Structure 1
Amino acid sequence: MASFFRGITPKYIILTGCLFTLLFAFFSNEVYHPDEHFQILEYAHMKLFGTPVPAELPWEYILMMRPGLQPMIAYGLGWLLDAGGIYSPYLLFSLLHVLSGALSIVSVLAFYRVVRGTLSGPSEEKWLLLLSFFLWFMVYLHVRFSSETFSGNLLLLLVSVYLSYGQRERKRPFVWGAGMGLLAGAAFISRYQVGFALFGFGLWLLVFARRWRLLAGLALGGAAMLGVGVLVDYWLYGTWTCSPVNYLRENILNSHIDKFGIKPWYFYLSDTVSKGFVVYGLAILAATCWFFVRNPKHVITWTMVPFLLAHQLVGHKELRFLFPVLPFIPFFAVLLARDLPQRLLRNRIVRLVGVLAVVLNFALIVYNVIPIKNTDIFFYRMMDDYCRGKERVCVLNVKDEPTYYSYGEFMIGPRVVTARFYMPRNMELRLAGSISELEREARRLRRTCPDVFILSGDERLPEHTALPVEKVAWNPYPKWIIRYFNFNDWVSLSIRRKNLYKVGASAGEK
């Protein structure tokens, strides 16, 4: 281990890690989960340009359940770009990723600064930095402008500030507490579920710290940030509301969240292993459990255990719900490696697994920045290129069919959610109730608009409609991949149900 780090300093790792994170942010062009798009970007687009209208937004907006903090950040950045005449949804998306990457860098470095004194020498310090900046799932999550990543970074900063306070002379506890309260409140109003972690953090302070000025400052700072949350929610919804209460009422008391599916008790264990490609998943579980067992009175243990237990008790489970824990994993892993027998680390099989893990780590990082795997973005850019310079482009589809621009939703009754964030300004989206209604609308539009398209899941639409339509051939993969590596037509799998057809001029003839 020592020979591996010979000539490499922590400063070099930090500089390389910061540059790598920001570059990855620019190359990353996807969201991990649709919520990252529909609960932030579409909200911001609505406030910027008036579309989509509230009726076209997901059910959570109608019930005023989502926080307004991140949509307001996206709105503010989008407003600046629009005022400067350089607005582009792709540029805004990239800048939000850079912003998230910058926050991740700050939180990683703050945590490293306060825990390096607990590490056994420079080697462990370097491993902590390497894992924090270059472990593939950390690289991927650092740049996500999602509530999970945002709140996880704020939790890491909160713990870092408290540990830093504990290492000093503990002067001005009220001021330190107010700062921690602001961080805690910001974490909560970005993702309400972190309230369980904050409960554990506050309970630890009451049991082990009991510095009342610190707690008073924490309460004041937290209350101030909750007030900010109320204001940004008013900005988002246009009325006074308490969205955390709305979230609790609709998802827990009214059990809306259960409609997304109930998972078994072992889901988080099995999914961590499978989604972590076994070796990383097992390491995450082992390092986390080891830290909790070895450090039962640590503030991180008291913060994370209630958070994990609360999610375990909820029937609907998704791995992303636990992402706020991941910023602590590199620290857990370094401490686990310290306690492992040295002869085990020198074992040939263990070393071979380590080499394979490094190779797989590199491959996963490369895979996560390959642009062609994101067919949605490729399609949006294609439509941008086509619409550029045209006065009007009309796109139709049957509302029950999911496309790149809409999908059906049935949580609080049948409705259609539309995605306007990437839609060109001169493009009109029309939704028909049936294929016959779509055909009538296409004929009507074709009389006045030369560019009328149909989005359809039917691969053989020309055979199933009386409309004169021609399929637009498109594929996100380069021609050399399609020509030489398209075994069993795998390159069409991701777009097979999302076809684009142009309506011919004869459709508009009377």
Structure 2
Amino acid sequence: MKLSVKSIIIFLSVVVFTITAYNSIGFFHADEHYQIIEFAGLKVGWNTPKDLVWEYHTQIRPTLQPIIASGLISTFKFFGISDPYTHSFLLREITGLLLIFALVFFFNNTKRFIPSSKQLQSSKLLESLYLGFLLLIWYVPYLGVRFSSETWSAIFLLFAMGCFCSENKNRKKILLTGLFFGISFLFRFQILFALVGFGIWFLIFNRKNWKELLQIITVFLLVFCLGIAIDSSFYGKFTISVWNYFDQNILQHKAANFGELPWDYYLNRLFHLPTKLIGTLFFLSIASALIFRIKSPFIWMILSFILLHMLVSHKEERFLFPIAFFFPLFFVQFFQLLLDTIPKKIALTLIGLTSLGILTTSVVGLPILATSSAGLGRNGITHFIHQNYKGKPVNLIAMPFSNPYAPWFLNERFYLDKNVSFTPIDQFEQLDSNALKKDSINLFVTTQRILDDYPHKENIRKLGFKLVKQSVPAYQLKMDYFIREIDDQSVTYLYELKK
């Protein structure tokens, strides 16, 4: 039986997502771990309230995802799976497979928007590009396996828009749209910025179907109330976490304490982060959608999401992740516009060259991200210790902000091995016999930033320490400059004292 292009793309995506999930140890951003996995530890048993970050005590985080994590981890343990790194892999794998399902569902319900009206024979090409871009652009598997609020919010936003865009839309699908909007919101409150755009679009272009909007809002509010019940149960008292979030981060400006960036930060990131080729294609496709597809709900949602985020002083690139999965729709609709407005040969040449550029970027980027630990690779270091020194007493000597188990004061108790003890030091001069422990494996950890400031790095080796692991391999650092612009100053180096 001959496999279809669609089946091959989906099969490849499952393979790439699984490899990425297996290797993408740790987290892209601290919130992915400390405010989800460590929150789950409160229910599973490895944490107490005093072990958790300030967001727990101010009750500003939604708790649906920590509850899901605690349920899944408890299930893994019930079946005899006790290793925390296996737990985190399974959480990422479940996330990745769920995202693939959501993307294919979204594809099946939106592919009717992309056929060329003048070049019908090119429709199959556009469909194949669309599905390939959705599942296998270089950043999709890496973001897609993150057990983060951004990714889980995006999953249910994809489900919602897939239901709403269904060709055979009925009352059930309208209600499901409201349900999925609500669930998406419970994972990440900022998704409301996209929903505002959807509501504005509805009132301008679809107001004759106002009953549909009323049904969507009603179901959304029911889910919102369910979220209040979930959060109140988790925190142990009645609370409205979205209000707490707004009060702490906006009214009391706590988010600004973590840094403020100029209004055009997101424009810069949208151009550079996905690579300049994809960034250019994004802005061209958005501009064409504004001119030729102004009645599409997607352009209103994307622009609303970006513009409202631009008004918030505290900005981070990860805040854009939920909408990154929608970019391929704009790309392929831009290709469709080329086929409909310029000579076919020129259009196909431009489409071919652009697609070849994206393919080349993905051929380079996918293997790097699929074989890397997440973020700055700190948990790649802890995983190395976990695997290579299991059951042996380990003394981890750590420079400031270098300890991969506790880079920001609080320990990552989820990954913490009982055989590992810490000896913090403030300067290299303290790396002497007093820091060492007899009858223990003595390890030393530091970062590139500290090494650059230390004029006598050779003293590390003179003491008998040998480099055994670095969080991001040297060859990846060279390529990451073009792929994800990693901060090489934060790369972590692990040394072992050789007797």
TM value normalised by structure 1: 0.79
Q: 1:230 aligns to what?
A: 228
Shift of 1:357: 3.6
CA distance in 2, matches of 1:291, 1:498: 47
SS of structure 1 residue aligned to 2:468: coil
Corresponding residue SS for 2:98: helix
Match of 1:186 in 2: 183
* Structure 1 residue 355 corresponds to structure 2 residue 351: no
Residue 45 of structure 1: aligned partner: 41
Alignment-mate amino acid for residue 390 of structure 2 = R
1:237 partner amino acid: Y
Does the Cα contact within 8 Å between 1:178 and 1:219 map onto a contact in 2?
Answer: no
Match for residue 490 of structure 1? none
* 8 Å Cα contact 1:394-1:430 kept in structure 2: yes
Name the residue aligned to 1:88.
83
Give the Cα separation in 1 of the matches to 2:443 and 2:292. Answer: 62
Instruction: Map residues 213-228 of structure 1 onto 2, 5 A cutoff.
Output: 213-228=211-226
Q: Deviations over 1:330-388 (max 9, x none)?
A: 111111011123344355x8855653442222010011122479642332123213552
Q: How does 1:304-315 map to 2 (within 5 A)?
A: 304-315=302-313
Residues 84, 9 of structure 1: CA spacing in aligned structure 2 closer, same or farther, 3 A cutoff?
closer
- Given that 1:31 and 1:144 are in contact with CA atoms closer than 8 Å, whether structure 2 keeps it comes out as yes
| Gap runs ≥5 in structure 1 | 1-5, 409-415, 483-492, 505-510
Structure with higher Rg: it is: 1
| Residue identity in the other structure for 1:420 | R
Aligned to 1:418, what secondary structure does the other structure show? Answer: coil
Kindly indicate whether the alpha-carbon contact (under 8 Å) linking 1:405 and 1:418 is maintained by their aligned counterparts in 2.
Answer: yes
CA distance in 2, matches of 1:15, 1:481: 29
Instruction: For 2:192 and 2:373, locate their aligned partners in 1 and report how far apart those are by CA, in whole Å.
Output: 38
**Aligned match of 2:335:** 337
Contact 2:22 2:89 survives alignment (8 Å):
yes
| Structure 2 contact 378–492 (Cα < 8 Å) conserved | no
1:476-495 correspondence to structure 2 within 5 Å = 476=470
> For residue 124 of structure 2, what is the amino acid of its counterpart?
P
Whether the aligned pair in 2 keeps the contact of 1:472 and 1:502 (CA below 8 Å) is yes
d(CA) in 2 for partners of 1:479, 1:229:
42
Equivalent pair of 1:27/1:369 in contact (CA under 8 Å) = yes
The residue that corresponds to 1:327 in the other structure is 325
Which of 148, 151, 160 in structure 2 is aligned with 1:149? 151
SS in 2 for 1:168: coil
* Aligned residue among 13, 28, 32 for 2:9: 13
Counterpart for residue 60 of structure 1: 55
Q: CA deviation at 1:298?
A: 1.9
Aligned equivalent of 1:475: 469
Q: Quick check: 1:422 aligned with 2:418?
A: no
Secondary structure, counterpart of 1:82 in structure 2: helix
Note the C-alpha offset of 1:502: 6.5
Q: 1:15 to 1:477 in 2, by over 3 A?
A: closer
Residue 169 of structure 2 corresponds to residue 137 of structure 1: no
Secondary structure in 2 aligned to 1:475?
A: strand
Question: 1 CA distance for matches of 2:441 and 2:238?
Answer: 43
Q: Is the 8 A contact 1:67 1:189 kept in 2?
A: yes
Among the aligned pairs, what percent are the same residue? Answer: 25
- Change in CA separation of 1:441 and 1:224 when aligned onto 2, cut-off 3 Å: farther
Report the Cα distance in structure 2 between the residues aligned to 1:302 and 1:481, rounded to whole angstroms.
Answer: 41
Q: Is the 8 A contact 1:404 1:498 kept in 2?
A: no
Higher RCO (C-alpha 8 Å, min separation 6)? 2
Indicate the residue corresponding to 2:481 in structure 1: none
Query: 2: CA distance between counterparts of 1:65 and 1:501?
Result: 41
Q: Distance in 1 between matches of 2:353 and 2:297?
A: 35
User: Which residue type is aligned with residue 45 of structure 2?
Assistant: F
Structure 2 CA distance for aligned equivalents of residues 365 and 267 of structure 1: 26
Distance in 1 between residues matched to 2:20 and 2:493, nearest whole Å: 29
Q: 2:247 aligns with which of 241, 249, 263?
A: 249
Asked if the contact 1:97–1:143 (Cα under 8 Å) also holds between the matched residues in 2, the reply is yes
- Cα distance between partner residues in 1 of 2:8 and 2:265: 39
In 2, distance between residues paired with 1:96 and 1:40?
A: 12
Change (3 A) 1:330 1:352: closer
CA distance in 2, matches of 1:7, 1:183: 32
Total equivalences in the alignment: 468
Q: Does the Cα contact within 8 Å between 1:462 and 1:470 map onto a contact in 2?
A: no
* More off after superposition, 87-96 vs 21-30: 21-30
